[in-house]
């Protein structure tokens, strides 16, 4: 699918509902829904509240980014994707380390399931290197490449598989745009507008990430743990508006 055209800053924001309580997640989503059009459902909320929370978020008029990072043998992931498409999510993740065959099987299955209803087709996003990893973390896993080089290598495999987008840190967004142009939708986690890095190691501010080519920004604790989440979102929107 083509790279999205995002005209308003708030369209870029994805708020990560990384909490197990359904009521707390939906309450926050209700409060932010006038400003935010996409919410992330990761393993914490998905396992805590069940897949029904996706329908409830959709009922708010919000899109869902299902971030479960599928990584298994191709047939297992392909069967899992049938449920993902049925949930009606806006985008979802597989892990690029699952390999070319796995990612290609996912893309082909998604295309087949939405052939008669292309408007229901979710974006297939390949996770490259987690933002909690740096060069030392990769080295401990036996990967001798730098994080930047490894992201590019995995992006090349994802391109061959036909995925729609990549998940990478803001530090790699610029080189990915230079290497692949508008081929991919770029979703960037590890966004820290002047806040603490927490357990992330490769972070960027909202303005830095967008300036380097990010399409969507995944933002979690900076908003969800803020005393006034609405004001935290407004501050990020103001930062992006000034670009």
The CATH number linked to 202 is 3.20.20.70
Sign of the CA dihedral running 215, 221, 222, 223: positive
Q: Is residue 127 part of a domain?
A: yes
What per-residue confidence (pLDDT) applies to 194?
A: 60
Tally of domains in the chain: 1
pLDDT at 196: 52
Q: Is residue 4 part of a domain?
A: no
List Cβ neighbours of 79 (8 Å cut-off, separation of 6 or more). Answer: none
E-only strand ranges, the chain: 13-16, 38-41, 63-70, 91-95, 123-127, 165-167, 185-188, 216-219
Q: What is the pLDDT of residue 201?
A: 52
Distance CA 117, CA 48 (A): 31
Total-model pTM: 0.93
pLDDT at position 200 is 52
Q: How far apart are the first and last CA of the chain?
A: 26
90 catalytic? Reply is no
Give the pLDDT of the chain (243 residues) as one tens digit per residue. 889 999 899 999 999 999 999 999 999 999 999 899 999 999 999 999 999 999 999 999 999 999 999 999 999 999 999 999 999 999 999 999 999 999 999 999 999 999 999 999 999 999 998 888 887 887 898 888 888 999 999 999 999 999 999 999 999 999 999 999 999 999 999 897 864 544 455 678 999 999 999 999 999 999 999 999 999 999 999 999 987
- Asked whether residue 195 is assigned to any structural domain, the reply reads yes
Q: What is the largest CA-CA distance in the chain?
A: 47
Phi and psi of 156, rounded to 5°?
A: -65, -40
Using the structure block, give the residue that is written with the tokens 């806040």. Answer: 195
Can you count the helices (H) and strands (E) in the chain?
Answer: 11, 8
Residue 3 placed within a domain: no
Q: Where do we find the tokens 């939906």? A: 26
At 157 the pLDDT is: 98
Domain residues for the domain of 22 are 9-241
Residue 2 located in a structural domain = no
Active-site option among 24, 40, 69, 201? 69
pLDDT at 243: 75
Is 1 inside any structural domain? no
């Amino acid at each position: 699918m083509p790279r999205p055209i995002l005209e308003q800053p708030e369209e870029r924001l994805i708020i990560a509902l990384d909490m197990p309580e359904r009521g707390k997640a939906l309450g926050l989503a209700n409060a932010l829904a006038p400003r935010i059009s996409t919410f992330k459902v990761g393993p914490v909320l998905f396992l805590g509240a069940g897949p029904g929370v996706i329908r409830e978020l959709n009922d708010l008029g919000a899109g869902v980014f299902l971030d479960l990072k599928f990584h298994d043998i191709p047939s297992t992931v392909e069967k899992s994707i049938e449920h993902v498409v049925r949930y009606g999510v806006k985008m979802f993740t597989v892990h690029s380390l699952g390999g070319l065959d796995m990612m290609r099987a996912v893309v082909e299955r998604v295309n087949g399931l939405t052939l008669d209803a292309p408007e229901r087709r979710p974006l297939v996003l390949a996770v490259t290197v987690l933002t909690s990893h740096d060069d030392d973390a990769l080295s401990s896993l036996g990967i001798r490449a730098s994080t930047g080089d490894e992201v590019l290598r995995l992006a090349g495999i994802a391109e061959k598989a036909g995925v729609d987008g990549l998940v990478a840190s803001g530090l790699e967004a610029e080189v990915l745009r230079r290497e692949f142009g508008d081929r991919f939708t770029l979703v960037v986690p590890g966004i820290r507008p002047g806040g603490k890095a927490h357990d992330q190691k490769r972070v960027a501010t909202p303005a830095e990430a967008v300036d380097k080519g990010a399409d969507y920004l995944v933002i979690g604790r900076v908003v969800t743990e803020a005393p006034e989440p609405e004001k935290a979102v407004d501050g990020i929107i103001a930062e992006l508006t000034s670009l």
